[in-house]
Amino acid sequence: MIGFARAGDRLVCDGIPLSAIAEQEGTPLYVYSAAALRARYRAIDTAFGAYPHALHYALKANSTLAIARLMRELGSAADANSIWEIELARKAGFAPADIVFTGVGKSRAELECAVPLGLKAINVESAGELSRIESIAERLGRVARVAIRINPDIDAQSHPHISTGLKINKFGVARDTARELIETLGPDGRRSALKLVAVHVHVGSQITTLDPLRRAAGFLADLAADLQRGGLALEYVDLGGGLGISYDGGDVPDDDAYAAALIEEVRATGLPIVVEPGRTIAGPAGVLLARVIDIKPRDAEGDFAILDAGMTELMRPSLYNAYHRIEPVDGASRATRRYEIVGPVCESSDVVGRDRTLPELHVGDVVAIRDVGAYGSAMASNYNRRPMPAEVLVDDGRWRVIRRRQTLEDMLALEQP
Ligand SMILES: Cc1ncc(COP(=O)(O)O)c(C=O)c1O
């Protein structure tokens, strides 16, 4: 059994009891399954079959070096959202020609570094950004490969904080003005320091129905076909992030249906498909282990269970009211009780799981917060001077620390008294 599963009473990762890992490495602790990461990548890659495609793993989901390297070894390309993610990708072995640079706000300094690298594309978010890239490329005597991100005004039907494709969202060039901007990159060669290689959409994350993804792909394919008729020879279309995942056991479309829908929309253009999946690859492949540090009465029906991990280690529940399954790693057969599962941080919003019914918890028990491989450790912070948690990768029957726990000295190394 790949990934996280129950073996009798115990929760295991690729066969290794999580309680043993917690005992040795301490908590809070992120644990990832290399086998699960590989399986998710391969399943998506296989779903696209023979249709020309490239998976650009979205580093924003989880850019811990060992995980980025594992994705590279699988043959993935990369989607980087800052110059630092680009540098990380290069340390992990990604060639610049396999990196797309996305992101709604790229600073002048970031663009100065990115343009000479010869990336696969800089995904451009505005007319101003395009001009800034152009002036840098002209000065350096280079041709910058660019893709224009278009805001298609399509509702992703996801959480408002992770929906990006509506007119009211800050992302991309507005649908009505995109055409005009793209035509300045036309075959007349007026902007010879820029080469348009693709058009791009990303309408949001945690999308659990095919409809918004299909509509965005259809919109982009129509535009690409039109541009091709006008003499603009694109190299590919970039359809943005991947599918959402099932945090609560509800249905999500499978990889085959997802890939088939995108291919169906794009096929007539003859263009290869680029996608930038993050969550669907890394999300289910990680858990956060936390120890119960206190139990105290809440009301007649239940207690607070206070963990040694909270919004500093996993921001998603506080930020988006996101749901993650929580379960004790051992003792799953105990009688149940109601709990408000909270973190140790000085904020009332530091709730990891609201009103949960769980096998009875005791101080010292270890619980696993599930499906946190994406947007988990990557969003951790030092609030309350809490150190970044350690991270462990389970691979081939063994585990190793891929990021040691931060210390106060690590934090203070940046500071002067
Ligand atoms: C431009 C872009 N590409 C890719 C992704 C990754 O999305 P996901 O993790 O949902 O696959 C994101 C995340 O929101 C994004 O903003």
Could you read off the pLDDT of 362-413 as tens digits, one per residue?
A: 999 999 999 999 999 999 999 999 999 999 999 999 999 999 999 999 999 9
Average pLDDT over residues 101-130: 97
Q: Give dist(CA 185, CA 394) in Å, integer.
A: 48
Q: Whose CA is nearest to atom 6 of ligand 1?
A: 241
Q: Give dist(CA 270, CA 417) in Å, integer.
A: 61
- In a 13 Å sphere around the CA of 39, the CA atoms on its Cβ side amount to 14
Q: Give dist(CA 355, CA 359) in Å, integer.
A: 13
Sequence-separated contacts (24+) of 160-164 with Cβ below 8 Å = 161/319, 161/320, 162/204, 162/205, 162/206, 162/320, 163/203, 163/204, 164/202, 164/203, 164/204, 164/205
Q: Give dist(CA 211, CA 208) in Å, integer.
A: 9
Structure tokens belonging to residue 245: 């995942």
Average pLDDT over residues 86-95: 98
- The Å distance, Cα 376 to ligand 1 centre, comes to 14
Which of 343, 341, 367, 372 shows the shortest CA–CA distance to 356?
A: 341
Q: Identity (one letter) of the amino acid at 144?
A: A
Residue 90: predicted pLDDT: 98
Average pLDDT over residues 105-112: 97
Structure tokens belonging to residue 144: 């910058």
Q: What is the tens place of the pLDDT at every residue in 308-367?
A: 999 999 999 999 999 999 999 998 889 999 999 999 999 999 999 999 999 999 999 999
Q: What is the pTM of this model?
A: 0.97
Q: Identity (one letter) of the amino acid at 236?
A: Y
202 lines ligand 1 (CB under 6 A): yes
Peptide bond into 28 cis (omega under 30): yes
Structure tokens belonging to residue 122: 């800089």
Atom of ligand 1 nearest to the CA of 206: 10
Structure tokens belonging to residue 359: 């096998």
- In a 13 Å sphere around the CA of 85, the CA atoms on its Cβ side amount to 24
Residue 171: predicted pLDDT: 84
Q: Give dist(CA 270, CA 49) in Å, integer.
A: 15
The answer on pLDDT for 285 being more than 80 is: yes
18 backbone dihedrals φ, ψ, rounded to 5°: -65, -25
- The Å distance, Cα 405 to ligand 1 centre, comes to 27
Residue 332: predicted pLDDT: 87
Q: In which band, very low, low, confident or very high, does the pLDDT at 250 lie, cut at 50, 70 and 90?
A: very high
- The Å distance, Cα 8 to ligand 1 centre, comes to 36
Other Cβ atoms within 10 Å of 23 Cβ, number: 11
Which percentage of the chain shows pLDDT scores above 70? 99
Average pLDDT over residues 122-128: 96
102 lines ligand 1 (CB under 6 A): yes
Q: What is the tens place of the pLDDT at every residue in 150-207?
A: 998 887 777 777 667 777 778 889 888 899 999 999 877 679 999 999 999 998 899 9
Residue 300: predicted pLDDT: 87
**How far, rounded to the nearest angstrom, does the alpha carbon of residue 160 sit from its chain's CA centroid?**
16
